Amino acid sequence: MIKTEIVSGKIEPFPSEDSHHNDGAELVFNGRVRSTENGETIRGLFYEHYEGMAEEELQSLAAGTAEKFPISDIFCRHRIGEIPVGESAIHVSIWSEHRAEGLEAMAWFISELKKRVPIWKWAVLENGTKIPSECRHELPTEK
Amino acid sequence: MKVIVKCFSQVRYHLGKDELVFHLEEGVTTSDLEEKVREQAGDLLEGVSLRVAVNQKYTPEAVELKDGDEVALIPPVQGG
């Protein structure tokens, strides 16, 4: 099964179940917000997305991952909006018969997501100013 | 013809707008439109690679635009 979602609230993890009798591996990845961005202390990250296209690309990527690797299920939730330090921005769960293909699928999925799903992060500074993450050292801190 | 450009991340930040509306002549391509947007930004988008999506699909090659198209100039994405 493939399930992807972009959500605006705190991410509820997919359940860890005992009912996958043919899967020996359950892989879970949580991408969490660090307290610094480009060396600066932040209070969180703000994720924006291209509504419609981001959902489509995420679903297509998950489907492509399930075709490329022999996995049983792939689930992904990506959060948007402001995410405080320490909380998850992304949660991925993959089930596979053996660990090797699951681990490979997870690495590929995350790596591809960072290339093609139109989602961007803004650093939220301690004073609340938001700036695109990549621009941190090129721009004034107030705008 | 009327074309809307959706702005995200660095494009939105530097242009100060969520979207731009262009009234273009027939035959204008995505590549021409990208040039116009970069001109509006002065040198602020210099060195920023942009991919183009038309009507929410990536278009690796320049394509001719049509009336009502929605174009996004997509800076490097940063999900995850």
Across the range B26-52, mean pLDDT stands at 95
Please judge whether B74 and A115 are an interchain contact, meaning their C-beta atoms are less than 8 angstroms apart: no
In percent, the amount of chain B with pLDDT more than 90 equals 100
Can you give the pLDDT at residue A108? 97
Read off φ and ψ for residue B38, nearest 5 degrees.
Answer: -60, -35
Residue B71 has pLDDT above 60, yes or no: yes
Distance from CA of A8 to the nearest CA of B (A): 14
- Which residues, numbered 58 to 77 in chain B, qualify as contacts with chain A under a Cβ-Cβ cut-off of 8 Å? 58, 72, 74-77
Alpha helices (H) along A16-124 = 53-68, 99-116
> For A27-62, how does the pLDDT look when each residue is reduced to its tens digit (9 = 90+)?
999 999 999 988 889 999 999 999 999 999 999 999
| Spatial separation of the C-alpha atoms in residues B75 and B34, rounded to whole Å | 12
The fraction of chain B above a pLDDT of 70, given in percent, is: 100
Residue in chain B lying closest to A52 (CA): B56
Report the complex ipTM: 0.94
The helix/strand/coil state of B50 is: coil
Q: Which chain A residue is nearest to residue B51, measuring alpha carbons?
A: A116
Chains A, B: CB contacts within 8 A come to 70
pLDDT at B53 over 50: yes
Q: Which domains does chain B have, with CATH numbers?
A: 2-74 (3.10.20.30)
pLDDT of A140 higher than 70: no
Residue A39's pLDDT is: 85
Span A2-13, average pLDDT:
97
Maximum C-alpha span of chain A: 55
- Going by pLDDT thresholds of 50, 70 and 90, the confidence category of residue A139 is very low
Contact status of B50 with chain A (Cβ, < 8 Å):
no
Task: Report yes or no: A135 and A36 within 8 Å, Cβ to Cβ.
Answer: no
* Per-domain residue ranges of chain A: 2-12+21-135
- Candidate CATH numbers 3.40.50.970, 3.90.1170.40, 3.30.565.10, 3.30.420.280; the one for domain A2-12+21-135: 3.90.1170.40
Please check whether residue B56 touches A, CB under 8 A: yes
